[in-house]
Structure 1
Amino acid sequence: MNGEHPLKPADMPIVRDDIRTGMTAEAIKNDLLENLYYIQARIPKLATRNDWYMALAYTVRDRMLERWGMAMESLHQSSRAVCYFSAEFLPGPHLANAMMNLGIYEQTREAVAQLGLNLDSLIAQEGEPGLGNGGLGRLAACFLDSLASLEIPSIGYGIRYEFGIFDQEIRDGWQREVTDKWLALGNPWEIPRPEIAYYVPLGGHTKQYHDKQGRFRVRWVPAHVVKGLAYDTPIPGYHVESVTLLRLWKSEACESFDFQAFNKGDYYGAVEDKVASETISKVLYPNDEPSLGKQLRLSQQYFFVSCSLQDMLRIHHLAGGAPDAFDKRFAIQLNDTHPAIAVAELMRLLVDRLAMEWDRAWEITQNTLSYTNHTLLPEALEKWSLPLFQKMLPRHLEIIFEINRRFLEDVRLTYPGDNERLRRLSLIDETDDRYVRMANLAAVGSHAINGVAALHTELLKETTMRDFYGLFPEKFLNITNGVSPRRWMVLSNPGMSGLISDALGESWICNPQDSISRLEYFADDAAFREAWRKVKQENKRELARLIEERTGIVVNPESLFDIQVKRIHEYKRQHLNALHIITHYIRLKRNPSLDAPPRTVIFGGKAAPGYVMAKLIIKFINAIAEVINSDPDVADRLKVVFFPDFNVKNGQRIYPAADLSEQISMAGKEASGTGNMKFSLNGALTIGTLDGANVEIREEVGPENFFLFGLAAEEVLDLKAQGYNPWASYERNDELREAIDLVRSGFFSRGDRDLFQPLTNELLSRDEYCLLADYPSYIVTQDKVGRAYLVQDQWIRMSILNVARMGKFSSDRSIREYLEKIWRVESLRAAGKQENDKS
């Protein structure tokens, strides 16, 4: 056999030093084969598409690990690092993003082609981590991308949900939730760290005692202890040597099997603790309507916060830091109220575990923590009942009571005799069972509180957190959200991005705020406009193919693609969009020669499983689609599509194809929005209210390039203060009345007059989100949209100007503002430059 192994395939590569780090197509191909053999244990002729995908993912990951080592070193050496606490992260698929950021996309395509494989097919094989419900998780992922690209020492902390947000299927027009088994085929991007594990106590009671120095102390005696194990995912920056760490926690039992119970014949009891412990990280955000759902959700939040803080204390100790310098080492950003228990947990760890004096521990806690508010909706500001808190976190309740006592003493000194203000500011809501107010806890325990759009921050100061603003005006500031131009432009819209790079060079990719504005000069270039139009049309053709594949509906790529994709919620007003569709349909039936462009209206988004009205809105949209799409009278003029299972992967196909972006929430309800930014950055024009970041988008792109309608936030308040009567709006507008009456007649429900009655009754009796008040303005503005789209050359010019003026909405700008205004953290690039200057 001439010394050859009899089972060694002929194409098995020769191992070379650069096989795991080389950036050439040859090195990548060799590493791919190596990983197929030695990690997937497959030979090429027997390998499945998933085997090849896994091997390729490991090959790309290999090229991150050297940078990973540098990043870990920087965490120990940096003067201060950012820790982003978020219950949600939605990074989307990793493979294509990692290849792009590493600068090996084309080399990888060549490598897999040499092996007879198709790169696009392997990219499509990857699922996506469903570690979030929507915008909050997508924002967190953009922020990690920017932290890495700006070379900021940082860690994202969250939960490794075994089952993420549900996959959505549409059956007979209704949403059906299907388990998201995103880990079923393996996750090559994560690195398990079983040696990095922490114990998280739950339940039980506390004991008071005095230590050897005579100091008053409290010991928590838990009823149950869960172990949290770390799973690390590298997040590479764009064309830099930096990699950010995403560390997610999986819950396990401290002892997975009880031999005593087993030996007694209690077979179920032997694994009961394992099952209960693993439940914490089993599924994303359980339905918290039942009491057990609330208990599990609070357990999840505390679990990941406790693991993360213990991990940070370990890192701080390994770096030689003293406990009372913790705030000099780390800046923690609380992404909404979900991680707000960090205020009490950090105090517990400092006071109970490290025996620190209360006042010094409180100073460290406030200096370390900052809080981002994402909502003005009272129901979204979490509250936990005292009985539940006492049952789950007895020591934390004591700490919160003590924080509250000291805080309210200060408030009394500032506002003597103002008991009503004390009641509003208290960390404890005294109604019913009494509740812990998590937003109040976050506000008191943080040194900075930021809103996420200029309007949102002003409303936050004027309404939701007015009393805190009066007490701590210096804490409040605005940092408008942004999205990653790498993920949401370069990767998802390569045609348009390539066109921009050909015109401007590639500096805009990492510095759009300063660079992309130069695109304005090309808006008046006829050849450039034609190239832009062709890119947009190809994106629309691609989405049309996908729509037919997923829904069976054939749509015209030449039609106006009018798109609304976001979480389904009454305040986001997908049903206002639906009323316009009905009105437009009635007009087309009456006047087939109506001077309006063909229109394809596309919806996408998930409704929370327990949100009955939101699920009815999905059924409503699909019912309208069923009637209109089967009507030959309007077949070439109007189509309606509900695109199922909207997520990052699908969003990357949808945003680049949009002509019109629907941002139609009632003014004053949307904190910021990031979908509005993704649409505009991809050349869609916006129809929207003055809500959230729409206000700033309109300021940037110009009023002439934005289709504004509806009441402003203050006008909504005035209308409601005067006693808003939606029935009067219905009676005085003929088209509105005709549209609603058609729904009530059963026309869109196969004659069933009761099906959509809850929806129409709500609109006619209460209309909390002012759909009927905004309907006339919306219809008039949609008519303007139609007329503008008919003048295609001018529409394309407006599209180019939108992109050229959207540089502000990069997440890089957002992160720079956090760095300067809140975190006071320096990039590795800047630190290295200073070190070189000294030497």
Structure 2
Amino acid sequence: MLIEKSLLKSKIENQVGVLFNKSIDEANEFEIYQGLSKALLETISKNWLETRKKYETGKQAFYFSAEFLMGRALGNNLINLGLDKEVKEILKEIGFDLNSVEATEEDAGLGNGGLGRLAACFMDSLVTLNLPGQGYGIKYKNGIFKQKIVDGFQVETPETWLRYGDVWTICRPCEEVVVEFGDGKVRAVPYDMPVIGYGTKNVNTLRLWEAKAMEELNLKAFNDQDYDEALKDVNAAEDISRILYPNDSTNEGKKLRLKQQYFFTSASLQDIIRKFKKIHGTDFEKLPEFVSIQLNDTHPVIAIPELMRILCDVEGLLWNDAWAIAQKTFAYTNHTILSEALEKWWIGLYEEVVPRIFQITQRIHFQFLDLLEEKFPKDKERRERMSIIQGNLIHMAWLAIYGSFATNGVAALHTDILKHIELKEWYELFPERFLNKTNGITQRRWLLEANPELSKLITELIGDKWITDFSQMKNLEKYVADEKVTDRFLEIKSEKKKQLAQFIEKTQGIKINPDSIFDIQIKRLHEYKRQLLNILHILDLYYRLKENPNMEIHPVTYIFGAKSAPGYMRAKGTIRLINEVAQIINNDPEIKDMIKVVFIENYNVSSAALLFPAADISEQISTAGKEASGTGNMKFMINGALTFGTLDGANVEIVEEAGIENNYIFGLKVEDIEELKKKGYDPHVPYEKTKGLKRVVDALIDGTLNDEGTGLYKELYDSLLKGASWHKPDQYFVLEDFEDFRKTQEKINKDFADRKVWAKKAWINISNGGKFSSDRTIEEYAKEIWKIASQKI
């Protein structure tokens, strides 16, 4: 027992008194949440300190990420501390419900999509495995945005999660550092968030940086009553950590994004070097022996020239010595093959924002050209393709591969594509640096916490070792023929569907049938993820039902959840289309609830915790070869949803583990797409030949659907059939895959009727989800890349 129940209750009462000058019987749920959280922080503080001291003399891994999508902290921390039952009892004694108290916590606005949620899962696994690791990122004052759906359109409003501060972060003002840009300096103030492991006393740290001006006020300007000028520097500095992913459609937005990236990487490196010197002095050749830095995608790659600046300019090392150290310190995770997501910076902007870093990047570029000249003296074109600086653009992914000792993909298929197609020339140059690390998710957040009913059944059957050793899930497979077990699973799934239905009715005002098939697609809105294919099929199904009201069909509820980047108009058009089709179908009495469409407003970690356990079908329908991994597919799988998707990303490994016969795979494979591209793909062929397809595509422009004169639907139509200057028509093969998508959906609908067979398929998926724990992923990183070992306090 970490703490006696009576003592914890006393601490909660004390904290409510200190924070709000109130007694327990005067406090409301938010005040109880604050007091409880502070009491827990007090309880773990000794272990947190002891963990930090234990780690500081050995090797540590540092995870640099622009996002950490942590979700709510209280519930997860209570489960990891083993205090959830005790706290529930304490709160009941003083007249409060734990769920209501938890609901007052805002989701931390530190991430947006899979990249950030992966980073959060990795933090959980690091500490649960007692591994010496720490995260570094930005303490964004606002998340990317809070999504409102107004007349079917996405409207962005501020996601002010820090309106009343954050009880889970502790300011460390004595460890602030200064970051210098071309136009001045800012202070980086560190805030530490404890990362609490399951079944361990270890408490790791996520350090987040907040940007502050060197001076909080221009007093002269203020006294001169020029109030805007008085706060000009303050606002410019604080803009750096004001919002996650500011719109970069303008030059000013791009500058701010680059400033964010340099700000947190520079501050983090200064912090790491300061701590290294405290223990090891100035023998920087030892830095790779004690420090391994993982660059999560290209956002933090500017850390490579920044470390060179610190080692050469500040610490006085020779260039070659510093470069050898840097290359042995950094490792890079590639999360995408999409060219637009591989960051490239215009040299004029880069030089303006970080002039010294530009000079260093240039030198790295020329050094790499010398290497290419040596390796490929007769291949000028190859040297040009691989150059870090090409024309007026700096290729950050190329800098990352050259400046690191390891480059990993995040699923077997993704890594294979990197090695043999997208990064083939790099793999030929540095074959020893490329390796795969299939992503994973933490079963503690996405099964133990999100689905306590299913977790209880699993523990009854195989014990509780699965919570920290997910390979134990394989022991469930022997129960696949046990109808008592699979019937209990179906009862649990039914209960989770009812809970989600209640949530949707309460928040969306839509009444859905819990006995319908819950077909769910929840992920960032992007063309390659093909939410457009999904909604076009739903519209086609609606038209067919209108023509044939007696069509045999099991009722289906199609559920979407997604945010579009503020400047991504095609994605916004798809959101509008989903919501308009939902309005048409949900309000048509002739359909008689045979199909319903729901768009979850402001999809986040908290709503995800309801959606994954309730799903029957997991829509993972990205164009083959475009999704690096996906992690939503894993969360669905371990909660007993069947994957309906392409052979893309981690879907490939999911069907390898659980069997293709227990999932639903459709569509073009990577090799099919390559062949189709060679022949010359014409989307007009499926558009004309596929029954019903022309009707739904034309609905975008023939007046059937109404985008309120925005032109969003015309843009979607043109993307499918006309293309644009920067891409060919239907570049994600929506129309080509439509017919197979529809056939597979029909098979799903038919198969769902046999509940016992369906339950067996779901149970096999659950039983074979063991590979997809982030614990396994982190163990591989620790052993094969970071070379760190468990350090248990």
Query: What's the TM-score bracket when you normalise by the shorter of the two chains?
Result: over 0.9
CA 1:548–1:801: 2 relative to 1, 3 Å = same
1:725 match? 682
Q: C-alpha separation between the residues in 1 aligned to 2:706 and 2:38?
A: 51
1:153 and 2:113 correspond: no
1:11 match? none
1:366 and 2:327 correspond: yes
1:283 and 2:243 correspond: yes
CA 1:231–1:753: 2 relative to 1, 3 Å = closer
Q: C-alpha separation between the residues in 2 aligned to 1:145 and 1:599?
A: 35
SS in structure 2 opposite 1:790? coil
Give CA deviations for 1:699-720 in whole Å, capped at 9, x if unaligned.
Answer: 1110101101000012112112
- Aligned residue among 23, 34, 37 for 1:57: 37
Report 1:591-602 matches (<5 A). Answer: 591-602=548-559
CA 1:268–1:622: 2 relative to 1, 3 Å = closer
2:343 match? 382
1:189 and 2:168 correspond: yes
Q: C-alpha separation between the residues in 2 aligned to 1:755 and 1:474?
A: 47
- Aligned residue among 444, 447, 455 for 1:489: 447
Letter in 1 for 2:303: A
SS in structure 1 opposite 2:168? coil
Give CA deviations for 1:121-171 in whole Å, capped at 9, x if unaligned.
Answer: 001111111111211000000000000100011110000011112111111
1:759 match? 716
Letter in 2 for 1:446: S
- Aligned residue among 67, 77, 85 for 2:64: 85
Q: Which moved more, 1:318-327 or 1:689-698?
A: 318-327
Contact 2:142–2:159, Cα closer than 8 Å, also in 1? yes
Q: C-alpha separation between the residues in 2 aligned to 1:233 and 1:130?
A: 14
SS in structure 2 opposite 1:177? strand
1:461 and 2:441 correspond: no
2:739 match? 776
1:703 and 2:660 correspond: yes
SS in structure 2 opposite 1:187? coil
Deviation at 1:266, TM superposition (A): 4.3
Q: C-alpha separation between the residues in 2 aligned to 1:467 and 1:109?
A: 57
1:35 and 2:27 correspond: no
1:811 and 2:771 correspond: no
Q: C-alpha separation between the residues in 2 aligned to 1:750 and 1:225?
A: 46
1:448 and 2:409 correspond: no
1:304 and 2:304 correspond: no
Q: C-alpha separation between the residues in 1 aligned to 2:478 and 2:7?
A: 42
Give CA deviations for 1:328-356 in whole Å, capped at 9, x if unaligned.
Answer: 11110000000000110001100110001
Q: C-alpha separation between the residues in 1 aligned to 2:745 and 2:625?
A: 21
2:86 match? 107
Deviation at 1:791, TM superposition (A): 0.5
Q: C-alpha separation between the residues in 2 aligned to 1:96 and 1:412?
A: 56
Q: C-alpha separation between the residues in 2 aligned to 1:387 and 1:172?
A: 41
Contact 2:613–2:640, Cα closer than 8 Å, also in 1? yes
2:118 match? 139
Q: C-alpha separation between the residues in 2 aligned to 1:323 and 1:752?
A: 62
CA 1:47–1:227: 2 relative to 1, 3 Å = same
Identity of aligned residues (%): 44
1:407 match? 368
Deviation at 1:751, TM superposition (A): 10
Q: C-alpha separation between the residues in 2 aligned to 1:664 and 1:266?
A: 55
2:725 match? none
Give CA deviations for 1:703-754 in whole Å, capped at 9, x if unaligned.
Answer: 1011010000121121122111111111111221233244443333399896
Deviation at 1:41, TM superposition (A): 2.1
CA 1:117–1:265: 2 relative to 1, 3 Å = closer
SS in structure 1 opposite 2:176? strand
CA 1:268–1:664: 2 relative to 1, 3 Å = same
Q: C-alpha separation between the residues in 2 aligned to 1:370 and 1:299?
A: 22
Deviation at 1:263, TM superposition (A): 5.2
Letter in 2 for 1:602: I
Q: C-alpha separation between the residues in 2 aligned to 1:264 and 1:547?
A: 54
Q: Which moved more, 1:150-159 or 1:455-464?
A: 455-464
Letter in 2 for 1:180: E
Q: C-alpha separation between the residues in 2 aligned to 1:370 and 1:755?
A: 41
Give CA deviations for 1:337-376 in whole Å, capped at 9, x if unaligned.
Answer: 0000011000110011000111111111011100000010
- Aligned residue among 185, 202, 211 for 1:242: 202
1:786 and 2:749 correspond: yes
Contact 1:371–1:443, Cα closer than 8 Å, also in 2? yes
1:827 and 2:785 correspond: no
Q: C-alpha separation between the residues in 2 aligned to 1:472 and 1:751?
A: 53
| Equivalent residue pairs, number | 786
Q: C-alpha separation between the residues in 1 aligned to 2:557 and 2:174?
A: 54
1:510 and 2:501 correspond: no
Contact 1:479–1:814, Cα closer than 8 Å, also in 2? yes
SS in structure 2 opposite 1:77? coil
1:740 and 2:725 correspond: no
Deviation at 1:262, TM superposition (A): 4.3
Q: Which moved more, 1:351-360 or 1:741-750?
A: 741-750
1:681 and 2:638 correspond: yes
Report 1:248-263 matches (<5 A). Answer: 248-262=208-222
Letter in 1 for 2:51: A
Q: C-alpha separation between the residues in 1 aligned to 2:606 and 2:708?
A: 37
Q: C-alpha separation between the residues in 2 aligned to 1:557 and 1:748?
A: 29
- Aligned residue among 497, 504, 507 for 1:547: 504
CA 1:257–1:520: 2 relative to 1, 3 Å = same
TM-score norm. by structure 2 comes to 0.97
Deviation at 1:445, TM superposition (A): 0.5
Give CA deviations for 1:77-118 in whole Å, capped at 9, x if unaligned.
Answer: 22x001000010011000000000000000111111111111
SS in structure 2 opposite 1:442? helix
Gaps of 5+ in 2: 723-728
Q: C-alpha separation between the residues in 2 aligned to 1:750 and 1:202?
A: 44
Give CA deviations for 1:616-638 in whole Å, capped at 9, x if unaligned.
Answer: 00010111111111111212311
Q: C-alpha separation between the residues in 2 aligned to 1:245 and 1:330?
A: 16
Deviation at 1:289, TM superposition (A): 1.1
Deviation at 1:462, TM superposition (A): 2.5
Q: C-alpha separation between the residues in 2 aligned to 1:738 and 1:264?
A: 66
Contact 1:745–1:753, Cα closer than 8 Å, also in 2? no
Q: Which moved more, 1:750-759 or 1:50-59?
A: 750-759
1:166 and 2:145 correspond: yes
Q: C-alpha separation between the residues in 1 aligned to 2:55 and 2:267?
A: 18
Contact 1:229–1:250, Cα closer than 8 Å, also in 2? yes
Deviation at 1:762, TM superposition (A): 2.0
Q: Which moved more, 1:36-45 or 1:723-732?
A: 36-45
Letter in 2 for 1:772: L
Gaps of 5+ in 1: 1-20, 204-222, 833-839
Contact 1:746–1:753, Cα closer than 8 Å, also in 2? no
1:217 match? none
CA 1:753–1:425: 2 relative to 1, 3 Å = closer
SS in structure 1 opposite 2:644? strand
Q: C-alpha separation between the residues in 2 aligned to 1:189 and 1:458?
A: 40
Deviation at 1:406, TM superposition (A): 1.5
Letter in 2 for 1:381: L
Q: C-alpha separation between the residues in 1 aligned to 2:57 and 2:22?
A: 41
Contact 1:385–1:436, Cα closer than 8 Å, also in 2? yes
